[in-house]
Amino acid sequence: MTTTTAGPSADPFVHPALFYSDTEEYLAGTVGFIREGLANDEPVAVSVPGPNLELIRAELGADADAVRLMDMTVEGRNPGRIIPGVLRAFADAHPTGRVRIIGEPIWAGRSATEYPACVQHEALINAAFAGREVTILCPYDTERLDPTVLVDAHATHPTLIDRGGERPSAAYDPDRIVASYNKPLPPPPAIAQVIAFDATSLTEVRHRAGEYAARAGMSEERVIDLELVIAETITNSVVHGGGTGTLALWIEGRQLRAQVRDGGHITNPLAGRLPPPAVPIRRPRPAPGQSPHRPGAHPHRRARHHHPDGHAPQLIAAPKLFAASASPAGELRLPSFDERLDPLRTVGRPEKGGDVADQSFGGGRVALVAGAVCRGEDGAHPQRR
């Protein structure tokens, strides 16, 4: 496959969609892209669903050792985390020269709830990488994906590749996709338990959510996950979303759902997807004879940091948990994996006007979906769909 390259006056960022209908076309497009990058001494990363990842690994043979290989069903289960946690993380680690990445964020197992966040992710990639020497190839399965997904791919990718070759997309319009999928989440059902909160009730609300989840049959480890993400989210609602909010809890099928609503709103769709600008911290120089440490502090002892609700945060082996809940908005998903402690994954769907927004838009209503059982919505293990 001949890879799209930027012209002399064009944006150096390249973002083609690869449409494939079978394994042969998939490997021809992806492995050819990878080997072309390796031949040019370009860093290459691949993040695709597990079965496709194994196809690529096998086809590459010994060359696989030179490629960063990631399972998108794990690394990208939260579409809002793909840009900062997968794409930017790899590209920023190689700041000089062109970088190549294959990202397949939309596969047949994605739910209808997840899809709006996925397609907005694809649209926002173009703004997130504008001016960067990066090529991100996004495969699309034409046999298994809904026709709407394929139509949307024409709007989110400036270049299209299929068995007929490579061509510009006449329908390219990423801003339209971001706006058209910026819709409200469904309201909670009448059976939902609704709890109002403010700065004085954060601890109580967190514990009530944990008790609700425990009664629903969620394991102790998953209850801890749920309590922590709810605590982080409602704290952000208090600090950044108007000072008050509501938490709704209910059971839907084999899932426990939680929804947080506040009055906040963030207008920048890339908020949370790009690293904040570095701000230098200037510390005053101590006067002669004065200790550089605060009065009463031991010079070799770290200060203790407290959680916003007054309690020391509990350390959990899930570093992405904090990143996923760092904004007061979004639809945050605790996947229905088995009873091990997995990093939190999230999906988001934003809304206009500050009512519902994903974690990138901020504010509004937040939906948490926590799996209490070891099977997915359709009865299959999420990583084997």
pLDDT tens sequence for the chain (385 residues): 445 555 444 789 999 999 999 999 999 999 999 999 999 999 999 999 999 999 999 999 999 999 999 999 999 988 999 999 999 999 999 999 999 999 999 999 898 888 999 999 999 999 999 999 999 999 999 999 999 999 999 999 999 999 999 999 999 999 999 999 987 777 899 999 999 999 999 999 999 999 999 999 999 999 999 999 999 999 999 998 999 999 999 998 888 999 999 988 878 889 888 877 666 655 555 555 544 444 343 333 333 333 333 333 222 222 222 222 223 333 333 333 222 223 333 333 333 332 222 333 333 445 554 443 322 333 333 333 2
Domain with CATH 3.40.50.300 in the chain: 16-180
The whole-angstrom separation of Cα 313 and Cα 307 is 5
The whole-angstrom separation of Cα 284 and Cα 281 is 10
Residues 110, 116, 118, 122: is their CA dihedral positive or negative? positive
Residue 385: how many other CB atoms lie within 10 Å: 17
Domain with CATH 3.30.565 in the chain: 193-271+309-384
Closest to 104 in 3D by CA, of 41, 223, 18 = 18
Query: What is the amino acid identity at position 263?
Result: G
Q: In the CATH hierarchy, which top-level class contains the domain 193-271+309-384?
A: alpha beta
Report CA 70 to chain centroid distance, whole Å: 14
Kindly report the CATH number that applies to the domain delimited by 16-180: 3.40.50.300
R_g of the chain, CA atoms, integer Å: 22
The whole-angstrom separation of Cα 291 and Cα 287 is 8
Burial annotation 16-40 (CB, 10 A radius, 16+ → b, else e): bbbbbeeeebbbbbbbebbbbbbee
Query: What is the amino acid identity at position 367?
Result: A
Element (H, E) at 371: strand 363-371
